[in-house]
Structure 1
Amino acid sequence: MHDALIYDDAAQLAEVAAPWLLAGLAAGDVAVVATGPDTADALRAAVGDDPRVLFVPRHELYRSRTPTAISAFRRLADEHAATGSRARVVGEVDFGASPADWREWQAYESVINAAFADAPLWGLCVFNADLPAPLLATARHTHRRWAGPTGWAPNPDFVEPDAYLRALPVPAEPLEATVPTLVGDAIGDHVGLRHAVRALLDGVEGPPDVLEDFLMAVDEMTSNAVRHGTAPAELRLWSAPGRLVATVSDSGSGLDDPFAGYGPAHGADLSRGGMGLWLARQLCDHVTVRHDDRGVHVRLSTSWS
C-alpha cells in the first residue's frame, strides 16, 4: 500500500503518523521512519523514543537516484518478509532543487505503486504543504489513499501509473538549444564512438567517477540504440562547466514501456541483458525518454559543483 499525508506542521504530521506506526508495532509490523530531520524529530518525540521504531537517515533509503531507492526499499521489504512481518514506512522524498530533479522523483512516486504492489510494505509518504504546486499535485495523483486525523480515505484524484508517467512533462534542457560538443550521426560502430566520447571527457574538468559513470551510461544507450533500435542511431553530446548532457536517438518506437529502467528488464537474472536503461538511471542524475515522429530519444544529464 502507498498512502499520502500532506501536513501543515510537524504536530499535525505526528498526530497522524505516530499512532499509525505504534499500531503497526502492536500488530507485529516493523516501523521505519526515513524523513527529513525536522519530521524525524517530531515523530521521535511522538512515539516516546520507542526503540522499536527504526529511524533511518533519509539518504540511506532514498539514495540519490530513483532505481537505487527502489532497490533499497525492496531489500527492506524482503528482509522482513522472511520473518512474516510487514514494514510500515513513513517516507519523505527530497525532490531536489530543479524541475529536472523534481521529475525524477515525481516519476518515482508513481512507479512504486507498481514496483511494490505485492511487497509486504505499507508506505505513508508525507508532504509539507509548503512544497511547490507541481509536487503537491504529484502527491494527489500518485497515492490511492489519503491519511488524516480522522483516518484513511480513498483518493479520487489518483491516476494509474501508466497514464501518469506517460503524461509527466519532460523539462526543457537549455543546452540542447546550443551547438553540440560532439555529434555522432548514423552510428555503426558504437565502440569507436565510445573512444570519441572518452577523448572528449578526458578534457573535461570534473570528478573522475562522475565522468566515468557518464561515459558508461552513454555507451550503454548508444549500444542499445545500435543493437535494438531502428537505424539511423545518433548521438548529440553537450559539455558545459559542471554539466554534461547527451541525447541518444534512433528512428524506431522502442522503450515505450513507461516503467522501463526502474529495474532490470528480466528481474534477478542479469545474464539475460535488458540492463541498459536501468544502469543509465543509476549512473546519471536525470534520464528521460521521449517519443516523436522522428523516433525515440533518451536524454542523459549529470551535474557537479
Structure 2
Amino acid sequence: MPTTRSTDAFPHSALLPGSDDELVTALSAELRRSLTAYDEILLVVSDRTRALLTDPPHHLPGLLRWGDPAAFYQRLGLAYESFRRYLAEQADKDRRVHVIAEPDLSADPGHDGPPLGRTGAYLAYEAVCNDTYAPYGSAVTCLWDSRRHPPDVLGEVLATHRYRLTASGRQPSPRFRAAGDYLAGHRAPLPAAPRHVDHDRTLTEVAELRDLRAMLNAWASERGFAAEPASDLVVAVVEVAGNGLRHAATPVRVRAWHHGGTLIAQCDDDAGRPVPVTAGYHPPGVSDAQPSGRGLWLARQLADAVLVDSVPGRTSVRLYFPHAVMHR
C-alpha cells in the first residue's frame, strides 16, 4: 500500500498560458525538472498541445508517455476517478508519476446545466483531488489555456490548485482554498425545476423503486439513450432515491425532465439531514461515516454532474445526463 503523505506536499499546479510560447516554455522546463524526480510522466493533452511539445526544437525523446484524452475525459466523476485509480495503481508499484492533464470539457449540456456549465462541476473535483490524490506521492499539473477560458473560470482554477506554474517554476497560488471551504462557498440553491416535467413521482417505500426503474428506463430509451447509458442513468437515480427512502425515512419526490439532449433528474426529501459538502467525492470504504456518501459516490461515477442542495428541512440532489457525454 502507498505511504500516506501530507496533503500539503501534493504538487497540484495550474498552468494558465496566454500564448503558445508561454505554454511550451513553462511546460518544457517543468517536464525536464520532472525527468529526475518521477518514474513516469503521463500527458493527457489535446492533439494541438502534443504537437507543440513534440515539434522541433522542443522534442523530448524518451521522456513522455502519452494518454488518450478520450480514455480519461468522459463523465466528470469518472474522469476524476480514472486519474485517482491510475495514481493509486502506480503507488502500489512504488512508482511516483507526474500527470500533465488538459481538461476536455467541450461537451457542455447548455444553459440548464450546472453553474459555469461542466467546467464549474469539474472544478469541484479539482478542489477535492488536493486531498484524495495526495496519498499517492505523485504530482498533477493541469493546463488551462487563458485564451480559451474566461477570467471568472481562471480565478476558480487558481482557487482549486495549490500552485501556479509559470516559466520561472511552481509558485504558491494566493487564491487557493482548501476543498471543504471551496465547496462550501460554491454550494448554492438549485435553479428551479421547470413547471412541466416529463415525470413526477413521490415514493414512500423501497418497494416502489422497481416501478421507478421501469419508468426511468423507458424514459431514457424514448429520449434516444442506448441500453448501457440508460442503465447507468437508472442506477444513479434509483441509488439516490433509495438513499432518501432508507436513510432520510421520508417520502422522496423524483422529477425527470429534458433540456435539449440532456436528461435531468432530481430527488427531494424532507428529512433535512445535513449532507457534507464532500459527500460522494471519496471512494467508499469501511470508514465511511455518511451512508449517503456511498450512494452519491456511485451516482457521481454514472452521471455527468451531480449537484446537492442541503438545507434544514430539505435535501435535493440533481443529476445531469448529457446524451453526447453518456454515449462517448
State TM-score, norm by structure 2: 0.82
1:60 maps to which of 56, 71, 76: 71
Equivalent position of 1:297 in the other structure: 316
1:192 aligns with 2:208: yes
Structure 2 partner of 1:21: 31
Kindly report which structure 2 residues correspond to 1:1-305, keeping only aligned pairs within 5 A, or say none.
1-45=11-55, 48-61=59-72, 63-96=73-106, 97=108, 98=110, 99-130=116-147, 131-168=149-186, 176-185=193-202, 187-199=203-215, 201-202=217-218, 204-208=222-226, 209-239=228-258, 242-254=261-273, 256-266=275-285, 275-304=294-323
User: Partners in 2 of 1:94 and 1:255 — Cα distance?
Assistant: 33
Report deviation, 1:83. Answer: 4.3
- Given that 2:262 and 2:321 are in contact with CA atoms closer than 8 Å, whether structure 1 keeps it comes out as yes
CA RMSD of aligned residues (A): 2.6
**Structure 1 residues 278-287 or 66-75, which shifts more?**
66-75
* Superposed displacement of residue 47, structure 1: 5.0
Q: Is the 8 A contact 2:14 2:142 kept in 1?
A: yes
CA contact (8 A) 1:180 1:238 kept: yes
DSSP 3-state at the match of 1:110: helix
Structure-2 change in CA distance of 1:65 and 1:243 (3 Å):
closer
Aligned residues: 300
Kept after mapping to 2: 8 A contact 1:230/1:251: no
Post-superposition offset of 1:106: 1.3
In the alignment, the residues of structure 2 paired with residue 138 and residue 218 of structure 1 have an alpha-carbon distance, to the nearest angstrom, of 29
Taking only the aligned residue pairs, the percentage that are identical comes to 26
Q: Tell which has more relative contact order, 1 or 2 (C-alpha 8 A, sep 6+).
A: 2
CA distance in 1, matches of 2:283, 2:129: 15
TM-score, with length taken from structure 1: 0.87
Deviation at 1:101, TM superposition (A): 1.2
Relative to 1, partners in 2 of residues 1:226 and 1:165: Cα closer, same or farther, differing over 3 Å?
same
Output the CA distance in 2 between the equivalents of 1:4 and 1:274: 28
Bigger CA drift: 70-79 or 33-42? 70-79
- CA-CA distance at 1:22 after TM superposition: 2.1
Cα pair 2:38 2:98 within 8 Å, conserved: no
Pair 95,169 (structure 1): closer, same or farther in 2 beyond 3 Å: farther
CA distance in 2: counterparts of 1:279 and 1:151, whole angstroms: 38
| Per-residue deviation, 1:10 | 2.2
The 3 A distance-change label for structure 1 pair 240 and 198 is farther
Letter in 2 for 1:188: T
Deviation per residue, 1:238-291 (Å, 9 max, x gap): 24663322211112344622222123331699xx99532112112212210002
Q: Which amino acid aligns with 1:60?
A: A
Shift >4 Å, 4+ stretches: 169-174
For residues 166 and 274 of structure 1, do their structure 2 counterparts lie closer, same or farther at Cα, with a shift above 3 Å needed? Answer: closer
Could you tell me how far 1:7 is from its partner in structure 2?
0.1
